[in-house]
Amino acid sequence: MRSRQSIAFMAATLAAMLCLTACAQPAPTAPSNQASSTAGQTPTGQGSPSSSTSLDPTGSPTASTTPQSWSFNFVDGADGFTAIFADYHDDGSGLESYQMDQGVKAIPDDSAKRQGLYIAGANRSDDLFMGYWKGLELGRPNATVSFDLSFQLATDVAPDEGGIGGDPNTSVYIKAGLTTVQPVSQMEGTHYRLNIDAGIQSESGADMKVIGDMSKPTDSGDSDGFVLKELTAHGTAKTDASGRVFLIIGSDSGFEGFTSYYLTDIKLSVA
């Protein structure tokens, strides 16, 4: 029979072994809050606004716009431009007295042999408007846009040339603009009038601004024939419900005589 001391020793040894086993087990890990810290976060690139997104005054997001540009040199035709005449009446002879003419033609006296939109007319009404327009698809319905326009005007009118009623140079005003509606010449009373506001002769209108006149450049000297000069226009316009605008360039004459000119190298940027 074992002694009480032996039994006590064995019990103490067993207890010590049990303690060592328990102490070797890893301690329980505290609950992680990682899931709660990531819940509700939007992964980058999935639904978060990009740096190019802005807010309109109402707080709604609006996409940034990339400038759109066009260039026309009429090598292959009119490029969709349409001639328009206005501010004239029926002369009773099929408008023969107005000597209206238009089309794509080679620009005379141009060493680069460029093509241009030619337009001509006699100002029997003392207020003849003539020019060209073209519709452009912007894809931004009912949007306000800014534009920069440049083009070359070929004219044969000397700066000091005199004329009838007004001068053929400074009394023939060049105008340009972008409009929301398609330009149309329609009968109002006894005259054909534009359906847009182009102003009256030296005055600008809401849709077209005066940007120059028919004078040759002052540095052209006494050179005969047609000389090219650059004209520019800048402004804002509003697109229609389908995202279109209409570019129009023309002349508004206070000279009671015949005027002809060419338009070429038309460049337009819209943002």
The pLDDT value given to residue 169: 95
pLDDT tens figures, 111-127: 899 999 999 999 988 89
Nearest 10 degrees: CA dihedral of 118, 218, 73, 224? 50
HEC states along 194-227? ECCCCCCCCCCCCCCEEEEECECCHHHCCCCCCE
Any domain includes 235:
yes
pLDDT value at position 32? 34
Q: Is residue 20 part of a domain?
A: no
Q: What pLDDT, on the 0 to 100 scale, is given for residue 194?
A: 98
Can you tell me the mean pLDDT for 258-269? 98
In degrees and rounded to multiples of 5, residue 78 shows phi and psi of -80, -5
Per-residue pLDDT at 49:
27
Confidence (pLDDT) at 160: 86
Count of structural domains within the chain? 1
Q: What is the pLDDT of residue 223?
A: 75
Decide if 179 is inside a domain. yes
Q: Does residue 33 belong to any structural domain of this protein?
A: no
147 in a structural domain: yes
214 within 8 A of 172, measured Cβ to Cβ: yes
Question: What is the C-alpha to C-alpha distance for residues 146 and 178, in angstroms, rounded to an integer?
Answer: 9
- Tell me, yes or no, whether 6 lies in a domain: no
Q: Which residue has the higher pLDDT, 32 or 159?
A: 159
Q: Report helix, strand or coil for 81.
A: coil
Rounded to the nearest 10°, the torsion over CA 35, 39, 43, 48 is: -160
Domain that holds residue 157: 65-270
Report residue 46's pLDDT band, with 50, 70 and 90 as the boundaries: very low
CATH number at residue 74: 2.60.120.260
pLDDT digits (tens, 9 = 90+) for 169-202: 999 999 999 999 999 999 999 999 999 999 999 9
Residue 222, pLDDT > 80, answer: no
Predicted local confidence at residue 224, as pLDDT: 84
| High-pLDDT (> 70) share of the chain, % | 75
Q: Is residue 249 situated within a structural domain? A: yes
